[in-house]
Amino acid sequence: MSILTIENLSKSYGRIQALKNVSFSVPEGSVFGILGPNGSGKTTMLGTIMDILKPTSGSYRLFDELPTHLHRQRIGTLLETPNFYHYLSGVKNLEIAAEIKQHGKEDIPRVLEMVDLTRRKDSKFSTYSLGMKQRLAIASCLLGNPKVLVFDEPTNGLDPVGIAEIRDLMKELYREGKTIIMASHLLDEVEKVCTHVGILKMGDLLAAGKVDGEILVTGCMDFEFIGGSLGSVMGERIARAGTARRSPRWPGRCGRRRRPRWSSRCRP
Ligand code: ATP
């Protein structure tokens, strides 16, 4: 079964085209990364499928059906940092979240255990580290045991330890059989956590499919501004795969070229 099928989805904000005719599908049981730099349309994509934003054109299906609020109720979402009460404990905040979502409180011990916050459940939210706050937010998504989870940049702003914790949690949720759709601007995150990827650049889908070296090389070679972790990881990956003639100016020089020329020059 396809959890999400997107067909020719476009979204404009006035003259800004945030999504341009994007189509892909998310298989059940996958961890699907929507990968792209800032402003590529990741949040717009997630906001659209969760009915926060209306598409300009195109359509999508959830669970192979026309989407309704009942389908969305089966999806746990973390699209922005939730507003927890700083002066209340983690468990009390989850009780409030459970009430708002009309779930029973009986699920709270399970979700606290999943995100490894049982020992700190009675501590005030204000005393939590950033990583713990993010894990509490994920615990809130897990209330009611949804089969599908949607996360927008779940490791944003975390230190390396917090990032590792969240990535381990993703892998555990995947092993449990959840389908996860997550936005990320980090190539290495997608490589480490995701089974599938859709690569966006300025609203265009450059590539989509199973995560393997080829799709990441194909999809990411259009990034003219590869830098930071994305650039270094791409450099390492391509060098490892022996698919690039190393150039001291790589990737800037390659990235500025049109795709066919880049392909013939940098791939075997
Ligand atoms: P980031 O990683 O920075 O969150 P993103 O990949 O999630 O970026 P979006 O936030 O979806 O990208 O933005 C896509 C484009 O749409 C950008 O050019 C952005 O400036 C524009 N945009 C997003 N929201 C609005 C809005 N409410 N009004 C006008 N333009 C918007």
Is residue 2 a contact partner of residue 64, using CB atoms and an 8 Å limit? yes
pLDDT of residue 87: 96
Q: Is the CB of 178 under 6 A from ligand 1?
A: no
Q: Is the CB of 44 under 6 A from ligand 1?
A: yes
- Which ligand 1 atom is the nearest neighbour of the CA of 45? 11
Residue having the nearest C-alpha atom to atom 31 of ligand 1: 13
pLDDT of residue 63: 96
pLDDT of residue 221: 65
Q: In the sheet that 57-62 helps form, which strands lie side by side, from edge to edge?
A: 16-27, 2-13, 57-62
> How far apart are the C-alpha atoms of 197 and 185, rounded to whole Å?
12
Query: Please, is 194 exposed, middle or buried when counting C-beta atoms within 10 Å of its C-beta (0-12, 13-18, 19+)?
Result: buried
Mutate which of 9, 22, 43 for ligand 1 pocket (most atoms within 8 A of beta carbon) = 43
Strand partners, 7: 59
Weakly modelled stretches of the chain, pLDDT under 50:
224-230, 238-239, 241-268
Residue having the nearest C-alpha atom to atom 20 of ligand 1: 39
